[in-house]
Chains A and B, each alone.
Chain A
Amino acid sequence: MSHSASTLSIFTGIIRHDLQLALRRKSDSLSALIFFAVVASLFPLGIGPETNRLMQIAPGMLWIAALLAAMLSLHKIFAEDFLDGSLDQVLLTKLPLSLAVLAKTIAHWISSGLLLALLSPILALQFNLPIESVGVLFLSLLLGTPLLSLIGSIGAGLTLASRGGGTLLSLIILPLVAPVLIFGAGAVEAYQAGLGFTAHFSLLGAMLAIALFLAPLATAASLRIALE
């Protein structure tokens, strides 16, 4: 028998629905992962196989590769829902739009950023990074990739109705995520230099807390503009 759904069950329902869709069409998530692996493997080819130099640049390089891979699927957060009319239905739930947007962003992060973070240790080992540094890299990506999805969702909303949205989205978002890259990659480098990573992680955590609160509001506003 049917019963009235609580706000929380609609929220989790949207996450479950989007993950179910991502599972039905694995190619989107898989292509981001493969892109990540390929870009990470191109660097040694371009720079040369010198172990020490590779070890030095590995954290920043892996972070950049993850950043670009996360960009690939960003426009899909809302684009498909926009085209097939589902976005209207999301706007007409009794859930406030910013929460619905947050649910969609969480689902996007699980199907892209989280997977990239999980893959990163394997790629990091190729560069002969010590196991502790690999751990720090993994944790920095775990803290940083949700930020990419959250900030990216604002751009995805803004570029929804524009043609060539994908490129425009990257142009808007890449400068905005520079601080995430600086502190994410910086954490690993600081650890390798013996300085500790607490400060970097605190800053990433603070940015994540702020973005969790503000990004969904901004995205909701940008979606309303795009749908007019």
Chain B
Amino acid sequence: MNNSLVMSKTLRLESITCMRGGKTLFEDLSLEIQPGTILRIAGDNGSGKSSLLRILCGLLPVYSGQVFWGNDSIHYDRDEFNSELVYLGHIPALKADLTAIENLVHLALLGGFSISTADALRALDQAGLASQANRSIRTLSQGQKQRIALARLRLPNPKALWILDEPFNALDQQANQALQSLLIQHVERGGIVAISSHQSLAIDDGPQVMRLSL
């Protein structure tokens, strides 16, 4: 595990209103998320958890309001913001025809870092997936795919801001705990995590967790 400190800025939401299909999901939402915080978003299906996460990484335009990374809007310097962000949507962005290693190497490159296959293998090994490293994604189970997608978080050069949409879905008990401790490690070294999840988690009552119900 890479324990070097990450330099995170503050993530700030300023009176965000989100409309989807003519319906207001949430209104006038303001939040300030300091480095070292896990933002834990809870809510019913369709309450706007995924939309909020997509707004945080700038994939979804807001109806009104702004998201700031440090002092600037996230749209002010997209290249810089994107290079400090890792976003995992509710579908693991993996190519069924490629192996786990090939997927990780490509995703790391899209994230702005050229890594070797050895780096990718190390990340998979830490996630307990070394035996699946050279198998094509098509042959893996849902949970294994999710764990491979999450192995991106263990690549070298960790990003400051992790935005994870339902990362605990399809994970078994052991992988669930491993991910929770990974999230704790990340905020302890100064990063920010924003997750949505409808399960209750052991970290929920921790001092670093900031809860938001939509």
Contact = CB atoms under 8 A, between A and B. Distances in A.
Interface of A: 1-5, 9-10, 13-14, 17, 20-21, 24-25, 83-86, 88-94, 96, 227-228
Nearest to A83: B91
A121 to B, nearest CB: 31
Contact of B98 (A2, A20, A88, A228): A20
Interface stretch (B9-17, B38-46, B106-114, B201-209): B106-114
B86 to A, nearest CB: 8
Interface string B85-129: 101011111111110001000111111111110010000000000
Given A2-B157, A227-B59, A88 B93 contact: yes
Contact of A86 (B80, B95, B102, B157): B95
A91 B83 CA distance: 12
9 contacts: A1-B156, A2-B114, A5-B112, A10-B110, A13-B106, A13-B110, A13-B114, A88-B87, A94-B83
Given A4-B113, A92-B110, A84 B94 contact: yes
B144 interface: no
Nearest to A86: B93
A2 B87 contact: no
Please name the 7 residue pairs, one residue from A and one from B, whose CB atoms are nearest each other, closest first.
Answer: A85-B91, A85-B93, A24-B97, A2-B115, A94-B79, A13-B109, A5-B114
A5 B95 contact: no
Nearest to A100: B110
B213 to A, nearest CB: 25
Nearest to A16: B106
B59 A84 contact: no
Nearest to B136: A24
A10 B79 CA distance: 13
A17 B60 contact: no
A89 B78 CA distance: 13
B110 A2 contact: no
Contact of B97 (A1, A25, A90): A25
A92 B59 contact: yes
Interface in B149-167: 155-157
B194 interface: no
Interface in B23-81: 57-61, 78-80
B95 A21 contact: yes
Interface centre among B93, B96, B156 (most CB of A within 10 A): B93
Contact of A88 (B89, B108, B156): B89
A117 to B, nearest CB: 25
A2 B107 contact: no
A6 to B, nearest CB: 9
A92 B57 contact: yes
A85 B89 contact: yes
Nearest to A24: B97
Contacts of A92: 57-59, 82, 85, 87, 110-111
A85 B61 CA distance: 18
A3 B108 CA distance: 10
Contacts of A2: 108, 113-116, 119, 155-157
A30 to B, nearest CB: 15
A19 B149 CA distance: 22
Contacts of A25: 97
Contacts of A90: 110
A3 B109 CA distance: 10
Contacts of A17: 106
B114 A3 contact: yes
A88 B59 contact: yes
Interface centre among B60, B102, B106, B110 (most CB of A within 10 A): B110
Contacts of B119: 1-2
Contacts of A228: 60-61
Contacts of A5: 109, 112-114
Given A92-B82, A92-B85, A9 B93 contact: no
Contacts of B102: 20
